[in-house]
């Protein structure tokens, strides 16, 4: 049941990205082009995502335990550190340069395979570097 609900959540997320056209890098880059042909539609998408996230936290705070897990899986970092700033900066640079963030970037494999191959390849390489960095420099 957990896998089925996870699949449905991912499907709903993907449909939301497709309907809002966030799978199109031109829309994302249009949002970042504030001095050119600015496209503010990403604000509405972010507002919807934040609303769903707030609803999720509201439900979590009303329940004693989750329905399909033994414990809640929520971030517990309470401070801004160097790793968070570097990660956010790299994410933003990659998003701004490519117009893709990881979720919509995977759709590029079907929508725009040449760009998708490069983006997903870079995503995999970056993830591998992060993994091996953690393995090699574990404290």
- Over the chain (139 residues), the average pLDDT of each successive run of 10 is 88 86 84 88 91 91 86 86 89 84 81 85 88 77
Global pTM exceeds 0.75 = no
Residue 109 and residue 117: Cα distance in Å, rounded?
6
Residue 71 phi, psi (nearest 5): -145, 160
Of 114, 93, 91, residue with least CA distance to 103: 91
Q: Which residues contact 65 (CB under 8 A, 6 or more apart)?
A: 71, 72
Written as six digits, the tokens of 5 are 């609900």
Question: Mapping DSSP to helix (H, G, I), strand (E, B) and coil, where does residue 61 land?
Answer: helix
């Amino acid at each position: 049941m957990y896998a089925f609900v996870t699949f449905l959540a991912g499907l709903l997320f993907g449909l939301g990205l497709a309907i809002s056209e966030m799978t199109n890098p031109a829309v994302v880059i249009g949002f970042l082009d504030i001095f050119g042909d600015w496209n503010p539609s990403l604000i509405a998408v972010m507002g919807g995502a934040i609303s769903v996230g707030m609803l999720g936290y509201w439900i979590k705070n009303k329940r004693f335990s989750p329905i399909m897990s033994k414990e809640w899986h929520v971030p517990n970092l309470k401070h801004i550190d160097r790793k968070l700033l570097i990660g956010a900066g790299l994410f933003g640079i990659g998003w701004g340069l490519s117009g893709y963030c990881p979720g919509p970037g995977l759709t590029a494999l079907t929508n725009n395979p040449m760009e998708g191959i490069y983006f997903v390849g870079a995503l995999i390489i970056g993830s591998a570097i992060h993994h091996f960095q953690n393995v090699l420099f574990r404290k």
